[in-house]
Amino acid sequence: MDYLKKYGEWLKYDKLPEDIKLELTNLKDNENEIKERFGADLSFGTAGLRGVISAGTNCMNIFTVRRATKGLALYIIDAKIENPSVVIGYDSRHKSDEFAKEAANTLSQYGIKVYLFNELRPVPEVSFATRYLKCTAGIMITASHNPSKYNGYKVYGSDGCQIGPEIADIVTDKINNLDLFGESPKPVNESLINMIGEEIEDEFLKAVLSQRINAEASEKAGESFKIVYTPFHGTGYKPVMKAFKAIGLKNVYPVEKQCIPDGDFPTVKSPNPEEKEGFELGIKMAKELDVDLILGTDPDCDRVGIVVKNGEGEYVNFTGNQVGALLCEYILSQRKAKGTMPKNPFVVKTIVTTDIIRDICKNYGVTMFECLTGFKFIGELIKEFDEEGEMSYVFGFEESYGYLAGTHARDKDGVVASMLIAEMAAYYSLNNKTLYDALVDLYNKYGWHQEGILNIVREGLDGAEQIKASITKVRTNAPREIAGFEVIALRDYSLQKRHNFKDGKTEDLKLPKSNVLYFELEGGMWVVMRPSGTEPKLKIYVGTKAESKEKAKELSDNILEDVKSLL
């Protein structure tokens, strides 16, 4: 069996560190675990690498990091770029600093200049630094909001955007042709490794602060407005707190236990701002201090979640769709009112993000574009229109709590989003409204939209096959009715085709090829099914709209329940 052969080759490698050798030796009687670790190679996609931290070809370790970096180095060399350079950042996860140093050493062996951050930094700052330093590429060691056993390796192009499928495929080919234990061509060249720090963060924060819309609002409300903030043991504490201070907020209360960088994330089950559980300490503080807004950023500070006091005084968590819709309405309405709307403005959302954005953009005469899930696709649209100079990017987001205003970064930015959410909340507070009140106003204005999501977890190699099989089953037996609603059309992004069941016509889809099924239901409702690109999950999304909150939720729940039966 191939995985047993690979396992044996690792044990025989004479330069294998003792701790890894001991870890593998202890697996000798556990064939299932050996298969999980060696039954495949950790795949390098457009989001880079992501896997469990352990020994094996299907895991995150110094060898898989080294091999991926060699592949990137060879791609850069083949591109014949003069004086190539790469910026490297890392978060608070276990071995992040070690993997970052490994990547830096490897690049130096290929004669590539490296800018290595001197301490943990958030994702958007690395994206920004790639652009600011005019680097050939950027690397971020992170697994975002995954559980503590994971880590990852994300790659950016010179534009600060995650590399797209075409470049990822080229780098993958380079990686696949490399011997995992093969030596690099030259010794480590320390002279090529340059440490960077506060000077980059200062420039990054200047760019973030340039996105303020109502500077007077946060300054005027700064004496009285209160926020509880948690960085979930990650990278957000320093830059987010600096941003809050810069906009004049004087009553920001950090959750001290969660401000300590720690890859175990000891105070939460999961460092995911989508989960209310992680906000328990923050909610306790908020009750004691009578605070209306609790804000949290995930470990690499590219996502933001909030908990808000509702009309009954209860603390409720907002979804990414709700926060994104509030920000979109706030940014567009205030820019229009102040006369600061750029020429030919546009907003971007993903295909699984709330459709209320269509109505908001239409109301303000702003063009809306849709893209596949993944912020790299939003970044590519920013780049495309930036180069053409015909349209101006204003805002983009995805339902999974990722937002970006401005073009200083080309990935989700939890720092600029935190600042704008705080400014927005301060602005509404001056009008005696909370963000909960603003959300109710939004739905009353545009209709009650409800988005639902179902995550089906299937871990391991077998789980990945089960997820593929589930989507294939639905694709080959596409339903014509879901929860009593007629399916108008099916968009199959793997075929790049949209088939209309009512008239039998098929048309081409312009978005890239992806294993995604999109069912258009009567009444403007929809269902999307896709495998997660970062976690072992089959993700199912639903979007509904009705005359009331209760009816919209009822429709969403019924549709999700019926979709379960399809699987």
pLDDT above 90 covers what percent of the chain?
87
* Alpha-carbon distances, residue 138 vs 49, 62, 115, 156, 159 (angstroms): 14, 18, 9, 5, 9
Using the predicted structure, report yes or no on whether residue 292 has a pLDDT greater than 90: no
What lies within 8 Å, CB to CB, of 303 at 6+ separation is 144, 145, 273, 274, 297, 320, 400, 401, 402, 412, 414
What confidence tier does 358 reach under pLDDT thresholds 50, 70, 90?
Answer: very high
Does the reported pTM lie above 0.85?
Answer: yes
The letter for the amino acid at 543 is G
Average pLDDT score over residue span 518-531:
94
CB 74 within 8 A of CB 109: no
Average pLDDT score, the chain:
94
144 is catalytic: yes
Average pLDDT score over residue span 515-524:
94
Using the predicted structure, report yes or no on whether residue 104 has a pLDDT greater than 80: yes
Q: Which residues of 442-457 are buried (b: 16+ CB within 10 A; e: fewer)?
A: bbeebbbbbbbbbebe
CB 272 within 8 A of CB 245: no
Average pLDDT score over residue span 361-369:
98
3-state secondary structure 264-313: CCCCCCCCCCCCHHHHHHHHHHHHHHCCCEEEEECCCCCCEEEEEECCCC
372-389 pLDDT per residue, tens: 998 999 999 999 998 888
Using the predicted structure, report yes or no on whether residue 165 has a pLDDT greater than 90: no
What confidence tier does 130 reach under pLDDT thresholds 50, 70, 90?
Answer: very high
Note whether 40-196 and 209-446 share their fold: yes
**What per-residue confidence (pLDDT) applies to 256?**
97
The letter for the amino acid at 242 is K
Is residue 406 left, alpha or beta, with left meaning phi > 0 and alpha meaning psi from -120 to 50?
left
CATH architecture of the domain 448-566 equals: 2-Layer Sandwich (3.30)
Using the predicted structure, report yes or no on whether residue 511 has a pLDDT greater than 80: yes
User: CA 327, 328, 330: angle at the middle one, nearest 5?
Assistant: 60
Using the predicted structure, report yes or no on whether residue 1 has a pLDDT greater than 90: no
78 burial level (CB within 10 Å; 0-12, 13-18, 19+): exposed
**What per-residue confidence (pLDDT) applies to 135?**
98
The letter for the amino acid at 447 is G
The letter for the amino acid at 512 is P
**What per-residue confidence (pLDDT) applies to 328?**
98
**What per-residue confidence (pLDDT) applies to 461?**
73
Using the predicted structure, report yes or no on whether residue 106 has a pLDDT greater than 70: yes
What are the domain boundaries of the chain? 40-196, 209-446, 448-566
CB 219 within 8 A of CB 248: yes
**What per-residue confidence (pLDDT) applies to 463?**
79
Write out the two tokens for 56: 């094996």
172-211 pLDDT per residue, tens: 999 999 988 988 899 999 999 999 999 999 999 999 999 9
Is residue 550 left, alpha or beta, with left meaning phi > 0 and alpha meaning psi from -120 to 50?
alpha
**What per-residue confidence (pLDDT) applies to 46?**
66
Per-residue DSSP letter, 60: B
CATH number of 209-446: 3.40.120.10
The letter for the amino acid at 282 is G
**What per-residue confidence (pLDDT) applies to 229?**
98
Using the predicted structure, report yes or no on whether residue 45 has a pLDDT greater than 90: no
Q: Residue 195 and residue 100: Cα distance in Å, rounded? A: 12
What confidence tier does 337 reach under pLDDT thresholds 50, 70, 90?
Answer: very high
For domain 40-196, the CATH superfamily is Alpha-D-Glucose-1,6-Bisphosphate, subunit A, domain 3 (3.40.120.10)
Count of residues in the chain: 567
SS3 for 158?
coil
What confidence tier does 470 reach under pLDDT thresholds 50, 70, 90?
Answer: confident
The catalytic residue among 85, 92, 144, 514 is 144
Q: Residue 361 and residue 347: Cα distance in Å, rounded? A: 8
Write out the two tokens for 271: 């460092």
Average pLDDT score over residue span 42-60:
89
Q: Flag the least confident range among 182-196, 412-426, 451-465, 467-481.
A: 451-465
Q: Residue 73 and residue 170: Cα distance in Å, rounded? A: 12
